A and B are shown apart, each in its own frame.
Chain A
Amino acid sequence: MNLLNISGSPHVHSDESTKRIMWRVNLALVPALIVATLFFGVNALLVSLISVVSCVLFQWLIEKFILKVPSTIGDGSAIVTGLLLAFNVPASSSMLWIVIIGALVAIAIGKMSFGGLGRNPFNPALVGRVFLLISFPVQMTTWPKAASWFPTRFLTDADSGATPLGLIKEGVKSGQSIKDIMASADMPSLCDIFLGHIGGSMGEISALAILIGAIYLLCRKIISWHIPVSFIGTAFIFSGILWLISPDKFLDPVTTILTGGIMLGACFMATDMVTSPMARSGQLIFGFGCGLLTVIIRNWGAYPEGVSFAILIMNSVTPLLNRWCKPRRFAC
């Protein structure tokens, strides 16, 4: 007979693994990818594919030739980064090469320079995205118009248009009231906004598709409700207060949370396990901070959208939140 194995208890494991978590996150991103393909055509698929392949390749190269450690690309986390990076850029033809630079920054600087998965303080996809936004401001804010249905164009760009938030920022700058901007012909209806028939980064347009993915992650207990609810809730309440004070100057809360990157950010980026707090109380504060900063940046910052910056800023607070916010001890 074989020798007996000896180890400390427990002798059984839940079978949960990092790999399974990452693949489930990838699965949860599929609805948003489908919507992006429907409205932006093959470009959306190509940008995603290039982004994912670059992320995986860069991680493999760095692990093999620089860090000289066993490869971890099998855990699927580089694919998550790649998909999220693609979801945060416009589905335009110039992105077919720009996104490769974003992937390099996301993986090399955002992730591997800190030691790889689990050790990065900032969400790698957002590091890549913000780098691109600052380095390629024109390409990163040239939004192809969402087509009515699956467009047949290939590698060429349709007319570009502004995102709802871009329209509002421009309008407010030129002195128009919110009411006039909302009534203009360029502004999509609330229904279009919810379904995703709007301009914007390819993964953020459809609140519906993102919510489907988020509900799946909630059911699988990969994310908890704390960060999305406090993030979206804070943004809703804060923008609601501003809107009640001055409906001419500030956007209404429903449009606020459905446009831009709030849904994608709150459900998929702020909930990144590695860069968000672990205790439930810390997660609530984290989400609150993200929501607050997003609305502040949108209304008073130079950029029309502030989700990426808000999450990155809160990422930097995560170690402190982990220190302050402890789980409730038994009998304390």
Chain B
Amino acid sequence: MGGVHPEENKISNDAAIEVMPVGKQMVVLMNQHLGAPATPVVQKGDKVKVGQLIGEAQAFMCANVHSPVSGTVLKIDTCKDAFGISKPAVYINVEGDEWLETIDRTPDIKRECTLEPKEIVAKLKEMGIVGLGGATFPAHIKYSIPEGKKAEYLIINAAECEPYLTSDLRVMLEHAEEICIGISILRKALGVPAAYVGIESNKPQAIKVMTETASRFEGIVIEPLKVKYPQGAEKQLINAITGRKVPSGKLPIDVGCVVSNVGTTFAVYEAIQKNKPLIENILTVTGKELPSQHNYIVRIGTTYNEIIAHSIGQLPETTGKVISGGTMMGKAVANLDAPTVKGNASVLVIGEKEARRNPETACIRCGKCMNACPMGLEPYLFSALVKNGRTDESRQHNILDCIECGCCYFSCPANKPLLDEIRLGKNRVRAAMAAKK
């Protein structure tokens, strides 16, 4: 149902993962995850090591934050994130590269995991693991199945249906075994018989490597998926693999599913088996107009400008937009001095011409937005309702079901900013619902 086929543009497919050097100063934001910010547990002048806890999760919906570098805490202040929003942050002056002794930095692969499910979840919390698919949902909450619910399927999202992004692909090609160990650990934490890894069939290399590796493990099934955006959207992926449909307003666990991004499983392996907290991202630096394409391991807190300077020197003259994420759901970066945070998947540079939207014309009621909507909604209707301030009606037409995949705007011949209008409408509906309470 629905979906579109944007140009894939996976031009950084063949670029092996490189290690990005550490800068002179790091700014670590305290909310890099969905929920409340972590509370700083270091003070100005403190010496920290790589992997040391610097922000503690005190609220329920929160995740620990660890120092990605070794050095001295300069100050605890605020810092503007990539989208211009001020957030609490710990500034660290980098001195050397001294890691916590507990972290296993050997290249050996550690296969055995003797932890009990509860211990695994506790360690995920300790290591600050969050979902790396985009939502940065704290992992320890996801893997603590609420009373009365039962997990039957573990689904690993390796669809990577977003144009341009290749970090998941590279991790699968280079760390298939670690991923499979990570999946086994998550499977154990949930107590489910099998995990299903969904990979779009436009990544035959990854399917081959993962299938070979998974055959040495118990209960890991590789599922090639049809190439269609948004195949990797949570509800669509669950449907493609299990045939189950998550009803409106419900969560995957309500149909017995837990979905995790494939990049997260690699982080889980490192956290559980190597005691390494989440302090690095695997990130694609790509763009049609860039002189070279890259995939990097980057310490969290490295700024966009540092990444650009190291990988391509400087942005091309024709740069129109820098995007964190893919072209369909990524966010346009407003502040290149901002530090990267957990879950950043790319620095995507697009040209001036591509970055501009075509002028909007009248709706010709072609219904393309409706046919492209993977949720079976009516974007054209929301557009009219939102413009006229008819918030209650937009709620009745299930505006909150929108997953913001962008297929409506993508396919609109009148270039109407449908998703912008829907976002506005969703905010109004949420505000109205909050006011009622």
Query: Which of A36-44, A185-193, A205-213, A271-279 forms part of the interface with chain B?
Result: A271-279
Pairwise interchain contact A75-B332, C-beta atoms closer than 8 A: no
Complex Cα spacing A127 to B371, Å: 29
> Which residues on the B side are within 8 Å of A11 (C-beta)?
321, 323, 327-328, 330, 332, 350, 354-355
Tell me the B1-44 residues at the A interface (CB within 8 Å).
Answer: 1, 4, 6-7
Among residues of B, the one whose C-beta sits closest to the C-beta of A318 is B365
Residue contact B247 to A1, C-beta cutoff 8 Å? no
Which of B235, B404, B410 has the largest count of A CB atoms less than 10 A from its CB? B410
Measured in the bound complex, the distance between the Cα atoms of B163 and A13 in whole Å is 12
Partner of B398, one of A1, A4, A6, A329: A329
Interface range, A side: 35 or more
Q: Which residues of A are found within 8 Å of B333, using beta-carbon distances?
A: 4
Per-position 1/0 for B329-366, Cβ under 8 A of A: 11111101000000000000010101111100111111
B374 at the interface (CB under 8 A from A): yes
Interface flag for A174 (CB, 8 Å) = no
Cα(A75)–Cα(B413), bound, Å: 11
Contact between B319 and A12 (Cβ–Cβ < 8 Å)?
A: no
- Alpha-carbon gap, A17 to B357, bound state (A): 12
Complex CA distance for A75 and B410, rounded to whole angstroms: 19
Chain A residue nearest to B325 in the complex (CB): A9
Mask, B397-430, CB within 8 Å of A = 1, is: 0100100101001111111010110010000000
B248 touches A331 (CB 8 A): yes
Cβ 8 A contact of B357, one of A2, A4, A7, A329 = A7
Given A5-B356, A10-B419, the answer on whether A330 and B245 have CB atoms closer than 8 Å is yes
Provide the bound-state CA to CA distance between A20 and B370, in Å.
19
Q: Does B291 contact A (CB under 8 A)?
A: no
B415 touches A4 (CB 8 A): no
The reply on A184 being an interface residue by CB < 8 A is no
Residue in contact with B247 in the complex, picked from A273, A279, A331, CB distance below 8 Å:
A331
Q: Given the complex, which residues of B lie within 8 Å of A326, measured CB to CB?
A: 378
Interface residues of B in 286-326 (CB under 8 A from A): 314-315, 317, 319-323, 325
- Are B328 and A16 neighbours in the complex by a CB distance under 8 Å? no
B367 engages A273 (CB within 8 Å): yes
- Does any Cβ of B come within 8 Å of A134's Cβ? no
* Residues of B238-254 contacting chain A, CB below 8 A: 239, 245-248
Given contacts A17-B415, A75-B361, A119-B362, contact A12 B410 (CB under 8 A): yes
A8 contacts partner chain B, Cβ-Cβ < 8 Å? yes
Q: Does A116 contact B (CB under 8 A)?
A: yes
Q: Which of B329, B368, B374, B419 has the largest count of A CB atoms less than 10 A from its CB?
A: B368
Interface flags, A87-119, vs B, CB<8A=1, else 0 = 000000000000000000000000000001111
User: When the two chains form their complex, are residues B332 and A5 in contact, meaning their CB atoms are under 8 A apart?
Assistant: yes
Residues of B within 8 A of A14 (CB): 4, 6, 410-411
Q: By the criterion CB–CB under 8 Å, are A5 and B355 in contact?
A: yes
- Shortest CB-to-CB span from B422 to chain A, Å, is 10
A173 contacts B by Cβ under 8 Å: no
| Nearest-neighbor residue (CB-CB) of A12 within chain B | B327
A21 at the interface (CB under 8 A from B): yes
CA distance A117 to B6 in the complex (A): 28
Are B410 and A21 touching (Cβ within 8 A)? Answer: no
Whether A279 and B367, one on each chain, are in contact in the complex, defined by CB atoms closer than 8 angstroms, is: yes
Find B321's partner among A4, A20, A331 (CB 8 Å cutoff): A4
**In the complex, which residues of chain A have a beta carbon less than 8 angstroms from the beta carbon of B374?**
330
Q: With A16-B411, A18-B414, A327-B377 given, is the CB distance from A9 to B248 under 8 Å?
A: no
- By the criterion CB–CB under 8 Å, are A72 and B329 in contact? no
**Inter-chain contacts of B248 with A (CB < 8 A):** 329-332
Write out the residue numbers on chain B whose beta carbons fall within 8 Å of the beta carbon of A20: 413
Q: Does B153 count as interface, using CB distance less than 8 angstroms?
A: no
- Give the residues in chain A near B327, CB-CB below 8 Å: 9-12
- Taking CB atoms, residues of chain A closer than 8 Å to B176 are none
Of all chain B residues, the one with the shortest Cβ separation from A1 is B315
**Inter-subunit contact B358/A273 (CB<8 Å):** no
The reply to whether the CB of B375 lies closer than 8 angstroms to some CB of chain A is: yes
Q: Is B193 on the interface with A (CB-CB < 8 A)?
A: no
| Residues from chain B with Cβ under 8 Å of A273 in the complex | 364-367
What residues of B have a CB within 8 angstroms of the CB of A75 in the complex? 361
A68 at the interface (CB under 8 A from B): no
- Decide yes or no whether B376 CB sits under 8 A from chain A: yes
Assess the B364–A13 pair: CB atoms within 8 A. no
Contact of B423 among A4, A8, A274, A278 (CB under 8 A): A8
Contacts of A72 in B (CB 8 A): 361-362
Contact between chains at A12 and B411 (CB < 8 Å): no
Nearest opposing residue in chain A for B414, CB measure: A18
Give A307-332 as 1s and 0s: 1 = Cβ < 8 Å from B's Cβ atoms. 00000000000000000001111111
Which A residues are CB-close (under 8 A) to B414?
A: 17-18, 118
Q: Which of A152-205 contact B (CB under 8 A)?
A: none
- How far, in whole Å, are A273 and B371 apart by their CA atoms in the complex? 13
Residues of A within 8 A of B181 (CB): none
Instruction: Please name all residues of chain A whose beta carbon is closer than 8 Å to the beta carbon of B357 when the two chains form the complex.
Output: 7, 13
* Top 10 A-B pairs, shortest CB-CB distance: A10-B406, A278-B367, A331-B245, A118-B362, A329-B376, A12-B327, A273-B366, A5-B355, A16-B413, A330-B375
10 A-B pairs (CB sep. < 8 Å): A1-B317, A7-B420, A9-B328, A9-B406, A10-B410, A11-B330, A13-B409, A118-B364, A118-B365, A332-B376
